[in-house]
Structure formats: structure tokens, C-alpha cells
Structure 1
Amino acid sequence: MRSEKPVPKMASEASETISDVVFRQVRQDIISGVLAPGTRIKLEQAREHYSISVSSLREILSRLAMENLVLAEGQRGFEVSPASIKELEELADLRTVLETHAIGLSFAAGNLEWEGRIVAAHHKLAAAERKLLAGDASRTVDWVRYDWEFHQAIVSACNSATLMATLSSVFDRFLRYHMLAQSFRGQAVVDDHKLLFELALKRDVEGARAVIRRHVQSGVAHVLKSGRIG
């Protein structure tokens, strides 16, 4: 589950530095579970693995610490932030607050281009979900990316870069728990996305907010049911 970034939100490849690329790689490895919660990040080994200097790696890990994906332990170095039920529930609450607020702003300002983004994003997401429901687990990476793109499209007309960036970071941290659960949520999540798609095109703010609240809480229940979070 690590070949692609589920949430592409950095600059274009042409303007990226080596540090930008490695930042995305390390971040993806944490979110996807390749770097498991609580893993001590040994700088010399990580330097060789990611082909970057120790000083640049320290800077990258410090940036990830600001997102609470990494813990900085002074002279002891860095480790991947542990996973906990408390954090999962806090992230769920925060995501709900941010996304439902953004929905109100986006539905009020959305235009035809916004509707087009939603239609295109849902088309890709639904295609990946059909494959997953048919048992093709290889589409998990596609689903992870398309899931964010769909939710992003829904709120993309909110006209607040700060809100979008904060929601994106929280979404990623919440997503990490779903990756740790290592299972697709099935027909229920597909139905939620279809209903949210329909409500967005109708500009039904309260209906969409209700779906998001249920969608996020059912996600929490799914992760807890997996038994992989202590």
C-alpha cells in the first residue's frame, strides 16, 4: 500500500526539491503503515534508504512532528507517533467540524466547474470501489487517493486555503488509522459516497453534513472493530 501518495498536495514535480520529494515519501510511509506507529527512526538507516543527508532528514522529520505524525525526542531522535483510540476519536471530531463547516461554504459558492470536479471525482472513486467490492484488493491504493479527491472536490469551493490545508492534514492522520485496520469498509462506505455525491449536486447542506457525521463515526467503529488499535 505504498506506491502512490493518497493525498497529492505538494508543488508540481518541476518545482520540487529533493527534500520535498523525500518529505512526501516519508509522510506516505507513515500514513500507509510502512513505518508503523512507535517505530524508532534511525537516522543513518533512514538516510541510506531515502538517499538524503542527515541534516535534511532531520528537517523533514521536524516538519512531520509539526503534524503530529512524528515525535521528536531531543537527543534520542525521532519515532513515528503511536496510534491510540483517544487520538482516533479526536481526529474524527476535528475532521467532522472542519468538513461540515467547509461544506456550508462550498455549497454556497460552488459553480458549474465545482460540480464538474465532483462528478469527475465520484466517477473515479466509484470505479475503484466496484473493483474492491469484487475482491480486487490491488485497487486499495487507487481508492485511498480517489477517496480524498472526492471529499476534497466537495469542499473545494470553500475559498479558504487555510481550511483546506488543515482539513487535508487531519484527513491524512485519520486515514492512517484506516490503513492500520487493513480492510475496506465495504458497501456502506460506497453508499455514503453515492448519497454525498447526490446531496452535493442538490446543494443540500444539512443532508450532506449528516452524511459526513455518520460516515466519520462509522469509520471509527470500523477501525476499532479491526482490533489493531490498542
Structure 2
Amino acid sequence: MAGPEVENEQTIGEATYLRLRADIIACRLAPGQKLKLEPLRETYGVGVSTLREILNRLASEDLVIAEGQKGFVVAPATAADLREIADLRLLLESHALQLSFGRGDLEWEGRVVAAHYKLATIEKQLLAGESRSTSDWVRYDFAFHNALISACGSKALLDLHAAIFDRFLRYHMLAVSFRGAGVVNDHRAMFELALSRDIDGALAMLASHVNRGVEHVLGTGRLSAQA
């Protein structure tokens, strides 16, 4: 049985993992940036051995690359990787949507309604020029898509989708721009299709939504240095 000190160290390690992971997804740690252990130790306040464990864990998620004796770097951001992640997201989310639409009950509909209301409120603020809402939009965008698939009945599928969604999201954070009315209209359409259980329409809308997101990111030119 683990003692209090071990449990405390595990808690600190998990908190540091989540913080470092969030910094990579938000591009506070830039694609291709070297992750030197000593500066990281000073920034995150944990030991080198704990950092190595965390970085190896992030490498298993393809957010970090282990370069053998050279150390670790943040995974680069490339057009090819973005397209591959988008394809994987579509595969997972489309399957989860079909399951969720078939199994969703009144509680599921309530989650979808609540998630869309919050997302639409933030998007209205962004369209009005309130850029400070961008970080909230990221959170509510995931919450909405997650609500749509939340009745799929598979925790493994939800967890895998969340991990891929985060990698997809990193590219949007790198693009540092909101897609505007187009993405708002996409979300409204997905919401209406969900409530009417129109799975064919929802799958077509999702594919268009994700692919337009890819083109938006590529159109910003922010990947040119890494592609």
C-alpha cells in the first residue's frame, strides 16, 4: 500500500503532466521546441526523473518526440500530420455519432442542448469582436462535440476521441484565428441534425465541418515553417 509521500508525489506528477500537456496543446510550448529538463524543472517545479516520465508519456500520445540521447522536443506541426489527425478524428467521431444517435435518450438531448447553448453564446461574443473569449470557445467547442457522442456507450471510444481532438485542437491554437460565421453555422446545423436524429445529414455535416477547419488552418500560413 502506497504511503502518503508516494501518493502526494503521484498527485503532483499527474498535475504536472496535465499542465505540460495543456501548454503543448495551447502552443505555449511551440511545435519543434526543445524540452530541456533543467528549464522545465524550474518552470514546473518537479524533479528531473518525474519530468522524464511525463515526457515519455506525452511521447506515447505523439505530442512529444523522444530523440534518444538528444532529449525531447515538442512534436512538429505539419500539413500532413494535420490531415492525418483530421481523418482519424472523422473516423472516430462518425462512428461515435452513429452509436450516440441510436442510443441517445432525453438526458442526452439535454446535454446537447446545454452544450450548444454555451458554445453559441461564446461564438456570438467572438463574432462581435470579443477575442478574449477564444480560450472559452476552445473548451465549449470540445464540450459540444463530446455531448453529441456522449451516448455512444464506449468509454474507450470517448477517451480516444478526446485525445485525437486535442491534437486537432493544437493546430487551431497555432492558427490563432477564429473561423467566423462558417463554424457557427456548422455547429447550429449539427445541433439541429442531432435533435432530429438525422444521422446521414450529421455525418455529411461533420465531414464538411472538419475539412473546412483543416483548410482554415492551412490558409493561415502558420504551418509553412514546419510543413
TM-score, normalised on structure 2?
A: 0.93
Residue matched to 1:18: 12
The runs of at least 4 aligned residues of structure 1 exceeding 4 Å deviation read none
1:121 to 111, 115, 121: 115
CA distance in 2, matches of 1:117, 1:19: 32
The aligned residue for residue 152 of structure 1 is 146
Q: Which has the larger radius of gyration?
A: 2
Match of 1:208 in 2: 202
Shift of 1:164: 0.7
Q: Identity across aligned pairs (percent)?
A: 57
Structure-1 separation of matches of 2:121 and 2:175? 22
Q: What is the Cα deviation at residue 19 of structure 1? A: 1.1
Q: 2:39 aligns to what?
A: 45
Q: Does 1:140 align with 2:129?
A: no
List runs of 5+ in structure 1 lacking aligned partners: 1-15
Aligned to 1:4: none
How many Å separate the matches in 1 of 2:111 and 2:49?
A: 40
Q: How much is the aligned-residue C-alpha RMSD, in angstroms?
A: 1.1
Deviations 1:74-124 (A, max 9, x none): 111110000101000001111111111100000001111111100110111
Counterpart code for 1:58: R
Structure 2 alignment gaps of length 5 or more: 1-9
1:218 is matched with 212
How far 1:139 moved relative to its partner? Answer: 0.3
The one-letter code matched in structure 2 to 1:174 is F
What's the offset of the Cα at 1:73?
1.0
* Number of equivalent positions: 216
Amino acid at match of 1:220: V
Identify the residue that residue 27 of structure 2 maps to in structure 1: 33
**TM-score normalised over the length of structure 1:** 0.92
The answer for the alignment partner of 1:100 in structure 2 is: 94
